[in-house]
Amino acid sequence: MYKELCDLINAADNYVFDPNNSRGNTFETFFNLYCPDDNCDTDDNKVSSTFISLIKSFENIDDKEKFESDKLAEYAILWLSYKLNQKTQNGTTTLNNFYTEHIKKNKHYNKEINADRDSGNKISKGVIETKISSMNIDIKDISNFYDAFKSLCNMYSEINAENNTECKPCLENARELFEKYEKLKNALDINKGSSYYKLLSSLSNDYKNFENEYNNVKCKNFSPLVACPRSSVTKNTLISIAIIFVAASILLGVSYKYSLFGFRKRSQKQHLREMLKK
């Protein structure tokens, strides 16, 4: 999970259901490309179009990242679940129902996204539908996983700030990730093989990728990075990022090396990069 992908997710967040967003005009044309019947007059239509735009954009992310197609689909579906969970005024909406009624019936979706893995699309309908079926849990819970995912995105932004030329002793967003991760782990029924288990394992692997990139490129031979304390917390109570994921490795059966360093700045398609800089 890398910065370019996070930039796209952030742009989508700032456009859909955000009437006060000052950047809306920048992304309106981009995210409205695939509205049903070319009409973006409802939130459902905007969400449908933006979901398709994310899928298409994720396919154009630098292939050196070696993203698996189902992983990219998972990120888009996490975003979709988060947005649907915001639509509380319309009652409960299930992920599968929204997909069936507002995405699968969208002519642009059927034109732009092919049916199977051998079709030429990196992310096919088959991949998307399999991932949706595997996430057969409460949409509010999926949205909570998205919250943790966004905290990790914020950590990427933190270490890639333009004025960030030195290794940081701590990350401001790390504590937020810890707290959300612990809440997920403790509040949900994390049985091996369950949908919750798979999503938590996926989040742990995303953290591992963050850790490896930072270690390999930016800050070699430094002590493990920690969460910055709140103002009322003394330096002695800093929590190492590794600690939470030690428990995760035991729970999920994932092996880690516990240091947290590095991120290598990646290139993206030129038009997307220019848009995200606006």
Domain map of the chain by residue range? 3-139
Q: What is the pTM of this model?
A: 0.77
Q: pLDDT confidence of 27, banded at 50, 70, 90?
A: confident
Please check whether residue 226 is in contact with residue 240, taking contact to mean a CB–CB distance below 8 angstroms.
yes
Task: Find all residues with CB under 8 Å of 123, minimum gap 6, and list them.
Answer: 55, 58, 59, 69, 72, 73, 76, 113
What's the farthest any 2 CA atoms get from each other in the chain?
Answer: 59
What number is the average pLDDT over the span 38-49?
91
246 backbone dihedrals φ, ψ, rounded to 5°: -65, -50
Looking at residue 237, what is its pLDDT? Answer: 37
**Angle, nearest 10°, between helix axes 174-187 and 139-159?**
160
Chain segment 146-172, per-residue pLDDT in tens:
999 999 888 887 776 555 556 666 677
Q: pLDDT confidence of 261, banded at 50, 70, 90?
A: very low
Please check whether residue 77 is in contact with residue 95, taking contact to mean a CB–CB distance below 8 angstroms.
yes
Chain segment 207-220, per-residue pLDDT in tens:
888 877 777 656 66
Q: Is the pLDDT of residue 235 over 60?
A: no
Looking at residue 108, what is its pLDDT? Answer: 95
E strand or H helix that includes residue 77: helix 69-85
Q: What percent of the chain has pLDDT over 70?
A: 63
Q: Is the pLDDT of residue 44 over 80?
A: yes
Chain segment 80-139, per-residue pLDDT in tens:
999 998 876 556 578 999 999 999 999 999 999 987 666 567 899 999 999 999 888 888
Looking at residue 255, what is its pLDDT? Answer: 35
